[in-house]
Structure 1
Amino acid sequence: MSENEVKDLSDLKDLTDNADLAETEQQAPAAPTMPLRDKEVDKQGRAYATGRRKDAVARVWLKPGSGKITINGRDQEVYFARPTLRLVINQPFDVTERNGQYDIIATVKGGGLSGQAGAVKHGISQALSRFEPALRGAIKAEGFLTRDSRVVERKKYGRAKARRSFQFSKR
């Protein structure tokens, strides 16, 4: 029986395994995996990012610390009194398992509290991926780096709201 002759499926499997081994031997050894992006920090060792959601814009600075989050000069428990909003802000840390390792200083303008929480989350995610580029894949997989572009639809003339018509009167 010749080297490339196939009589049943087990022979075919052996041939493909041998071909795969030969291909991997011919290829050059892979370089050690390096993050595609560089660490982006300022002179004080902080990572900066801007987060947006609805009409809210958040400027976020992230630095190594004890996990203190300050928003507009106030603690997160004071500024975001609702636990669900604090949960939203901490999602990037939960996904990357970095709870209590970074201090956050954020300034938020515009929108309501829900939009502001979403903007801070977006900013924290961006800043975290700039401070630790290796975490970018995990953050991106959860969709935290994508700006949620949904905004309130504008009111049209001849309508009560954006889509609702005025009440119909038969007489």
Structure 2
Amino acid sequence: MIRRMKDFKIVPQNAFYGTGRRKESIARVWLVKDTNKQIVKAKDSGKEFELKDYVQRESLYHKVLHPLKLSGLEGRFGIYATVEGGGISAQAEALMYGIAKAIINYNSELRSTLKKAGLLARDAREKERKKYGLMKARKAYRWSKR
């Protein structure tokens, strides 16, 4: 089911912003008071989706909402996010990091709780570049002596 941006009123008085990154993915997240809708807008297609429909897997959905559960704010905020780049898994982790940063903008006292859970340290692993003479980063062509 697709929701529209007009369902949300994102103003500084009722929304808290955070940016999350993982691999090639970037997620811009707003936690919105007085609603429980969870909407993700994909930049490449321009369409808006329910969060649960967008991430597709139950495990990724729970990973995205982990910062809210950990801080005890589950059900108190709606989520509006725009995502771009990477795949679904990387976008889900970027959403998780973005939600954690938005929670800190809401209440900075929750920082120690989120930091102990490792939700504020960005996972910096990136794809290794392709080298010349190889098929991929490390995969080589088949070698034959004769």
Is TM more than 0.5 here? Answer: yes
List 4+ stretches of structure 1 deviating above 3 A.
Answer: none
Q: Distance in 1 between matches of 2:86 and 2:124?
A: 14
Match of 1:160 in 2: 135
Q: How many residues align?
A: 131
Q: 1:58 Cα deviation (Å)? A: 0.6
Q: 1:80 Cα deviation (Å)? A: 1.2
Match of 1:53 in 2: 22
Match of 1:65 in 2: 34
**1:68–1:100 Cα contact (<8 Å) kept:** no
Q: Secondary structure at the match of 1:143?
A: coil
Task: State the TM-score, normalized to the length of structure 1.
Answer: 0.72
Question: Structure 2: 5+ residue runs without aligned partners?
Answer: 1-10, 42-47
Match of 1:131 in 2: 106
Task: State the TM-score, normalized to the length of structure 2.
Answer: 0.83
Question: Structure 1: 5+ residue runs without aligned partners?
Answer: 1-41
Q: Distance in 1 between matches of 2:91 and 2:34?
A: 23
Q: 1:95 Cα deviation (Å)? A: 1.3
Residue pairs, 1:48-127, within 5 angstroms: 48-72=17-41, 73-127=48-102
**1:67–1:99 Cα contact (<8 Å) kept:** no
- Where relative contact order (Cα < 8 A, 6+ residues apart) is larger, the structure is 2
Comparing 72-81 with 107-116, greater Cα deviation is found at 72-81
The aligned amino acid for 1:105 is Y
Q: Secondary structure at the match of 1:77?
A: helix
Bigger fraction of residues in strand = 2
Q: Distance in 1 between matches of 2:137 and 2:73?
A: 42
Q: CA RMSD in A?
A: 1.6
Q: Does 1:140 align with 2:109?
A: no
The aligned amino acid for 2:131 is K
Comparing 94-103 with 52-61, greater Cα deviation is found at 94-103
